[in-house]
Amino acid sequence: MTLPSQNVIAEPQQLVKMTYREGMRQAIREAMLRDERCFLMGADVGRYGGCFAVSKGLFDEFGPEKIRDMPLSESAIAGIGIGASMNGMRPIVEIMTVNFSLLALDQILNTAGTLLHMSGGLFNVPVVIRMATGSGRQLGAQHAHSLEGWYAHIPGIKVLAPGTVEDMRGMLWPALEDPDPVLIFEQQVMYNMTEMVSATPVPVDIDHAKVRRPGKDVTLITYGSCLPKSMTAAETLAQEEIDTEVIDLRTLRPLDNDTIFASVAKTHRVLIVEEGWRSGSLAAEISARIMENLFYELDRPVDRLCASEVPMPYSKHMEEAAVPQPETIAAAVRKLVL
């Protein structure tokens, strides 16, 4: 047997420019071409192309059997998707916004999240439910909250939050392969964001957080739309000789404790940034885990930067003031290290 030469240099991946929106569209398309059991269902996903144009063009390519327009009932949409997944299909369920998903909460929590347990391990629910989340598009208080931390409270489901185009494209297939329910929270303010990504899909590890920027002075833990803001803040701080490590959680349930703890043990200072409200937040849970496990590694108390505890304003300048921004993130880091 001839072993491959250790000196062979792998050919570089061809890169293409892609938006966050196109990343999910391509992921849906590739999944349906790959597995005949896959189909997309939701309100206005067909001829209209989706409320955020994610499914635009897919109806013309795949037809009404694979791109299924549903009545405007989130409970019915989620329930039918759960039933289809239990009967051998692999539905991709779209719920327009996280605020509207509360109308389907009974199906998600009491059905999808509990059936494996209540059936004694007999029935898996391999459904994937996608929904838009977060602020930044002046959609007002009923369309722009970040409630993914609520769903991360529920046992029996996995919660994903892609913060890059690559993750947006690469998370869907491993989510469809998961035998249990997976929720994907897509940041609506990022749909037009562009990145250079591999022309061929890159598998994404949906079980672990990712260190997006290594550093030694402070750990900044975040996800979703706060990731690019945190990266911008870290670059600003680097000019001030503050070396910030940025962790992208990627998966909000289950949390990757190992990656978080390893970073904290190195930097000894932590800031957690999210768009959810501070009270009862995902940031509070992460803070508690760090305090419980790494108290003596900390040089300063864990700090959190979250959304203001108000309904999301419509006015652009007030909406921006209500959620973390690169400037407020950088200011919070400075308080920890200076």
Is 229 part of a structural domain of the chain?
yes
The whole-chain average pLDDT of the chain stands at: 93
Q: What is the pLDDT of residue 255?
A: 97
CATH number of the domain that residue 302 is part of: 3.40.50.920
- Give yes or no: residues 65 and 191 share one domain: yes
> What is the residue range of 316's domain?
210-337
225 or 7, higher pLDDT: 225
- Give yes or no: residues 115 and 157 share one domain: yes
Q: What is the pLDDT of residue 206?
A: 94
Residue 217 has pLDDT above 50, yes or no: yes
Q: State the chain's maximal CA–CA distance in angstroms.
A: 68
CATH number of the domain that residue 149 is part of: 3.40.50.970
Residue 303 has pLDDT above 60, yes or no: yes
- Give yes or no: residues 238 and 299 share one domain: yes
> Could you tell me the pLDDT band of residue 203, with boundaries at 50, 70 and 90?
confident
- Give yes or no: residues 218 and 288 share one domain: yes
Q: Count of domains in the chain?
A: 2
Verdict on whether the full-model pTM lies above 0.75: yes
- Give yes or no: residues 132 and 165 share one domain: yes
Q: What is the mean pLDDT of residues 35-59?
A: 94
> Could you tell me the pLDDT band of residue 210, with boundaries at 50, 70 and 90?
very high
Is 28 part of a structural domain of the chain?
yes
Is 158 part of a structural domain of the chain?
yes
293 or 202, higher pLDDT: 293
Is 320 part of a structural domain of the chain?
yes
